[in-house]
Amino acid sequence: MRGIAVVWLAALLSIAWADGLREATLILRGEPLSLSPPPLWDGRELWLPVSHLERLGVPLEVGASSVRIPHIPSDQPAAHVPVEPKRGAPCIPVRDLVRRLGGFTRWDEASSSLSILARLQQAHLEVNTLHLKTSLPVAWRAFALENPSRLVIDLAGCALPDVPLPLPESSGAVKAVRIAQFDPHTVRLVLEMDAPAATPTQGLDSEWQVALTAAPASLPEPPAETPQSPPAEPAPEAPPTPLEIPPLQRDSSGVVRLTLPLPEGARPRVLFLEDPLRIAIDVPGYLPEPVERAIDDPSLFVRTLRAAPLDVGMVRIVLELARSVGAQVLSGKTGVTLNLRAPRNTGGKLRDKIIVIDPGHGGAQAGARWREGKTVIEEKTIALAIALHVAELLSREGAKVILTRAEDKTLGLYERTALANSANAHFFLSIHCDSNPRPNSASGTTIYYHKDDADSRALGQALLNEIVKVSGLPSRGVRSDSVLYQTGLAVLRTSQMPAVLIEVGYLNHSFDRAKLVNPDFQKRIAEAIVRGLKAHVEGR
């Protein structure tokens, strides 16, 4: 009987693990959670029992077959996350859920743990009030440091966005502001002030304000892990080790890599620039003098690599690109790697491609509007005029062009991308004009891509690189649509091919508007779009 029992137990164990799942730990706001039943890892996704969802601190509606995110319109696919049984418990894919909520996750194989991290979305200073916003709730705490006087605010369970936020300008009692990734789970804000103060001093929030008032007696001491010891006799400082910039390397799959040594938890600041196309990376380090290397190998995507010291122990590395590239930044324990590759659907000739041009709005949907006397200027009209020029020029190049509308008619957002998806298009370009609540307060061209899609970002950078050469308008950069909405823009989110939305200029800015209504300007912008697309496809 004992032999039979052993065989039966072994059979049970083999069945239990035949599903490929293993128990894992969930790290939330920097702290590992003790959960029963535990989360389960399948090699790509972490399945979290729905009984633990309230620990996330996010309003969710749990149904029998799915979890709904209330603040996303229910008719959008991203609003519903499926519930699946895992080892007898209803579970949700937590990585998928967090991504839809605007955060991200980091898996650590050594500890079998998944960290959930919010993105810092806003840090804005108005007089003596600091406004903060993150994509998910974070545990935050404010404390004072001396010599010099500073107010420190740590956001636990948070990471800096891939596209750096503009630093808040000094205002009121605040002399200067710094934002950095303090450790892998914490973003730290440092405000230089004569009398460091904060009200309140801690909380669990995703959007909140901190009043920078006269220093209260109850302001907490610094955390125990960073005690402030009395100043000691200064020891002789060893000369800093210069930052080593290794050569670019290309692997057998065609990916070009640049790996830089960094302290654990440090995150680089990455900028995508145009005219000429460049990628700039700011990293901690010391460089005694500028470095410049010419790159003669065209398969490395880079013409010139430069490095120069910045202030406060930082080094800027600039890669001047030979063509638009799909770029991905990966941070590890000992360094950061920049991966460069040819973007999806590039190669060959422009005449071989199927391109969908989408003039924004139309029909009953006028888009942005501006009234001058009895004249009304509408976004839909300008977008169509530019789009028709683009379509004509692309047709001359021999490309197959599909217009979502060629006249003033109403068209749904999902109809536009359904047309592109059914045609198996290679690229989707949506053309618009921008506007904001304050006339004459913003000017320039912005191009949006979806979330962190490197291929669409590369397309947008190639287009903007040509537009800024002829527009006479400021460049507002190539931006992720997550800065506008958590789920991004509908026409970008639902496109199956690289897709961008071009905001040519601001209709409610007098300088931009005078250009937008000018037929010659519209034609120049169309020509620039076609040049940028051709350079993107053909690698020139």
Same domain as 457, residue 363: yes
Dist CA 88 CA 93 (whole Å): 15
Specify the pLDDT at position 26: 93
Give residue-wise pLDDT tens across range 162-187.
666 777 777 677 888 888 887 788 88
Residue 269 structure tokens:
């600041």
Measured between alpha carbons, how far is 344 from 350 in angstroms, rounded to an integer? Answer: 14
| In-domain check, residue 7 | no
Is 226 contained in some domain? no
Best CA proximity match to 195, nearest among 150, 152, 153: 150
Q: Hunting for tokens 């931006």 — which residue is that?
A: 479
Q: Which residue has the tokens 């989707």?
A: 428
Distance CA(532)–CA(454), nearest Å, equals 17
| pTM > 0.95: yes or no | no
Do 156 and 97 belong together in one domain? Answer: no
Residues 398 and 534 in one domain: yes
Domain with 513, as residue range(s), is: 350-538
Please give the tally of structural domains in the chain. 4
Higher local confidence (pLDDT), 474 or 333: 474
Of 280, 259, 277, 433, which is closest to residue 361 (Cα–Cα)? 433
Domain C-terminal end among 295, 322, 341: 341
Residues 6+ apart with CB under 8 A from 317: 245, 258, 260, 280, 281, 282, 283, 305, 306, 307
CATH code: domain of residue 441: 3.40.630.40
Q: What is the mean pLDDT of residues 326-344?
A: 87
**Chain mean position to CA 197:** 31
Q: What is the tens place of the pLDDT at every residue in 489-524?
A: 999 999 999 999 999 999 999 999 999 999 999 999
Identify the H or E element spanning 380: helix 379-396
Residues 416 and 486 in one domain: yes
Structural domain contains residue 275: yes
Any domain includes 237: no
Q: What is the pLDDT of residues 222-232, one digit of tens each?
A: 555 555 556 66
What three-state secondary structure class fits 362?
A: strand
Type of residue found at 302: V
For residues 475 and 468, is the Cβ–Cβ distance under 8 A?
yes
Report the CATH number at residue 263: 2.60.40.3500
pLDDT at 71 over 80: no
Q: Can the peptide bond before residue 137 be classed as cis, meaning omega within 30 degrees of 0?
A: no
Q: Are residues 432 and 507 in the same domain?
A: yes
CA distances from 447 to 329, 432, 434, 505 (A): 21, 10, 11, 10
Q: Is position 230 within any domain? A: no
Which residue reads 């603040």 in tokens?
A: 71
Cβ count within 10 A of residue 251: 10
151 vs 138: CA distance, rounded Å = 18
Q: Specify whether the CB–CB gap between 386 and 504 falls below 8 A.
A: yes
Please name every residue paired with 355 in a beta bridge, in sequence order, or none if there are none.
Answer: 401, 427
Check if the beta carbon of residue 304 is closer than 8 Å to that of residue 293. yes
Instruction: Give helix then strand counts, H and E, for the chain.
Output: 8, 35
291 and 156, same structural domain?
no
Residues 361 and 450 in one domain: yes
- Indicate if 187 and 282 belong to the same structural domain: no
Same domain, 198 and 128: yes
Element (H, E) at 389: helix 379-396
User: Pick from 298, 320, 341: which residue ends a domain?
Assistant: 341
Cβ–Cβ under 8 Å, residues 363 and 373: no
- Among 7-11, 29-33, 165-169, 320-324, where is mean pLDDT lowest? 7-11
Predicted pLDDT of residue 442: 86
Considering only residues 162 and 101, tell me which one the structure prediction assigns the higher pLDDT: 101
Instruction: Give me the pLDDT at residue 99, please.
Output: 85
Give the DSSP per-residue string, 288-318: SS-EEEE---GGGSEEEEEEEE-STTEEEEE
What are the tokens at 277?
A: 């196309």
User: Do 69 and 197 fall into the same domain?
Assistant: no
CA distance 340 to 329: 9
* Residue for token pair 């890599």: 257
SS3 of residue 430 by DSSP: strand
Residue 53 identity (one-letter amino acid): L
Pairwise CA distance, residues 182 & 101, whole Å: 23
Backbone phi and psi for residue 488, each to the nearest 5 degrees, phi listed first: 85, -170
Residue 244 domain flag: no
**Is residue 367 assigned to a domain?**
yes
pLDDT mean over 127-132: 85
In-domain check, residue 154:
yes
Per-residue model confidence as pLDDT tens digits over 192-211: 888 888 888 888 889 999 88
Task: List, in sequence order, every residue forming a beta bridge with 113; answer none if it has no partner.
Answer: 25, 108
Residue 260 contacts residue 266 (beta carbons within 8 Å): no
Tell me which DSSP letter residue 286 carries: B
State percent of the chain over pLDDT 90: 49
* Together in a domain, 200 and 277: no
Q: Is 267 found in the same domain as 178?
A: no
CB contact burial 62-91 (16+ within 10 A = b; e otherwise): eeeeebebeebeeeeebbbbebeebeebbb
* 100/43 Cα distance (integer angstroms): 20
pLDDT tens for 399-411 read: 999 999 999 999 9
Last residue of a domain, one of 211, 231, 260: 211
